[in-house]
Amino acid sequence: MIIIKLETKEPLHLSASYTVSTYSPCIEYIPGSALRGGMAKKFLQEDQNQEDFERFFLDDHVRFGPLWPAQNSPQGAIGAILLPMTAYTCKRYPGVYSSKTGYTKHGIRDMLFEFIKEPTGTSSLNCSEQDCEAPLTRQTGYYIGQEAHMELIELDKRVITSTAIDDQTQTAAPEQLFTLQVIEEGQMFWGQIEFGDPDLEEMFCQLCCETGIQIRLGAGTSRGLGLMEVKDIYPSDNHPNYNLFSVTQSLLERIQEFDSVAKMELGDRFANQTCTCFSLDLLSDCLLLDEFLQYKIRIEPSDLARYIHPDLSRAAPLGQVCTSQFVDGWNNLHCLPRETSVAISAGSVFFYCIDVPPQELANLLGQVEYRGIGERTQDGFGRVTINHPFHLKREQR
Ligand SMILES: [Zn+2]
């Protein structure tokens, strides 16, 4: 696996949809397909060896991105982690505790086990800070920090308005005003590229370092938008979700820890059962197809069996917190929009129990964090983690 960190040198616009409208909002991550396209274009311009190009960009086993926000620090950029959809905060004083801010914030907490216990009753839950009792609301975004203190990462954005140019008069075209939301210059992103071959990864990093690579991503690349510079790129043998967990913890230990917390939180429900609880958390959007090739909007045990291990068909779904959305794309080769897909959104959480001991479950789930789940994993779709560590931090922060 290769770790890559990039910085925006010009405003960056990544549209959520190819449909044209007067205002286009910007998504907060860089899809894997955009990274692969931007890098491939740069390599073609540099006139690299055709054989290398095919191995880097056209092989089915190659996986690009996605890229998530990162925070600058003296030791280099620190990769941020997407909050699961079970993260909630106080509506009156939202956000994490911070000594920097002038007013109090009442912390962020995880609500997974509350949702499992009472799927319909959580709207009555209030902030537990003394004398507050404001309702809770969902906290979206990214965070850094594994331990007690966490920090929310927000990208700086602005809005750019421009007119279209009339082809004949070369002046501003009447009634054609476009407004784009863009990510500002100087913002960091990080992610991973996987070739499945350490020698190839080493070679790719050397080529990138030699060329001091700058690539263009997103919309408006011919008019001063989308220039990004690779700040850091190196091969690594870390676990793909290395920034979520302590490096010394194995999957089995994580499963055991999560299972005991889940049983403690859910109490009587598992009193006489020999089963293991686990959650599947989406770190990127996920494309799942059923047997009729239609897109699915939740991950069922049959999907776990199909994409991970047949024995997982025995898992019982106990609840989920999920949404779905349309995903569009642009095929540069054909100069046509890609087919619109329906993806299960990044941040979605699925909770199951299965009648096998933790050791066996760890064997069944062994490779899913490396391989991902669903379709188009080469473009960064379907990145998952088992038992997101955020679920285990029960107290407010
Ligand atoms: Zn509060």
CA distances from 209 to 6, 68, 107, 202, 247 (A): 13, 21, 41, 11, 28
**Within a 10 A sphere around the Cβ of 102, how many other Cβ atoms?**
5
Q: Give the pTM.
A: 0.90
Q: 365 C-alpha to center of ligand 1: Å? A: 38
Segment 271-281, tens digit of pLDDT? 667 889 999 99
Whether 116 is in a domain gets the answer no
pLDDT average, residue stretch 377-391: 92
Q: 94 C-alpha to center of ligand 1: Å? A: 7
At residue 147, the pLDDT reads 60
Q: 128 C-alpha to center of ligand 1: Å? A: 7
Whether 92 is in a domain gets the answer no
Whether 137 is in a domain gets the answer no
Q: 262 C-alpha to center of ligand 1: Å? A: 25
Q: 144 C-alpha to center of ligand 1: Å? A: 22
At residue 21, the pLDDT reads 74
Q: 101 C-alpha to center of ligand 1: Å? A: 16
Domain shared by 73 and 203, yes or no? yes
**pLDDT of 149 over the 70 cut:** yes
Whether 23 is in a domain gets the answer yes
Integer Cα distance of 62 and 4 in angstroms:
15
At residue 307, the pLDDT reads 92
Q: 132 C-alpha to center of ligand 1: Å? A: 5
CATH code for the domain of 344:
2.60.40.4350
Segment 166-218, tens digit of pLDDT? 888 888 888 888 888 999 999 999 999 998 889 999 988 888 776 668 899 98
Q: 396 C-alpha to center of ligand 1: Å? A: 10
Q: 6 C-alpha to center of ligand 1: Å? A: 37
At residue 103, the pLDDT reads 59
Final residue in a domain of this structure, among 195, 211, 235: 235
Q: 104 C-alpha to center of ligand 1: Å? A: 9
Give residue 116's pLDDT band: very low, low, confident or very high (50, 70, 90): confident
Whether 109 is in a domain gets the answer no
Domain shared by 200 and 298, yes or no? no
Segment 32-49, tens digit of pLDDT? 988 998 888 888 887 677
Q: 123 C-alpha to center of ligand 1: Å? A: 15
Give residue 150's pLDDT band: very low, low, confident or very high (50, 70, 90): confident
Whether 56 is in a domain gets the answer yes
**Cα Dmax for the chain:** 79
At residue 300, the pLDDT reads 94
Q: Give me the percent of the chain exceeding a pLDDT of 90.
A: 41
Range of the domain at 15: 2-80+155-235
Q: 244 C-alpha to center of ligand 1: Å? A: 27
Instruction: Please give the DSSP secondary-structure letter assigned to residue 269.
Output: G
Whether 136 is in a domain gets the answer no
pLDDT average, residue stretch 316-328: 89
Domain shared by 75 and 182, yes or no? yes
Whether 106 is in a domain gets the answer no
Q: 183 C-alpha to center of ligand 1: Å? A: 31
Domain shared by 192 and 65, yes or no? yes
Q: 127 C-alpha to center of ligand 1: Å? A: 5
At residue 15, the pLDDT reads 83
What b/e sequence results for 46-65 when a residue is b if at least 16 CB atoms lie within 10 Å of its CB, and e otherwise?
Answer: eeeeeeeeebbbeeeebbbb
CATH code for the domain of 222:
3.30.70
Give residue 148's pLDDT band: very low, low, confident or very high (50, 70, 90): low
Of the candidates 388, 294, 309, the one whose C-alpha atom is nearest the C-alpha of residue 348 is: 388
Final residue in a domain of this structure, among 176, 203, 235: 235
Domain shared by 200 and 56, yes or no? yes
At residue 340, the pLDDT reads 84
Of 123-132, 190-199, 240-249, 289-298, the least confident: 123-132
- The mean pLDDT value of the chain amounts to 86
Q: Which residues pair with 180 in a beta bridge?
A: 24, 160
Q: 138 C-alpha to center of ligand 1: Å? A: 13
Q: 260 C-alpha to center of ligand 1: Å? A: 29
Q: 157 C-alpha to center of ligand 1: Å? A: 28
Q: How many domains does the chain have?
A: 2
Domain shared by 345 and 271, yes or no? yes
pLDDT average, residue stretch 57-63: 86
Of the candidates 36, 38, 34, the one whose C-alpha atom is nearest the C-alpha of residue 216 is: 38
Of the candidates 98, 95, 100, the one whose C-alpha atom is nearest the C-alpha of residue 154 is: 95
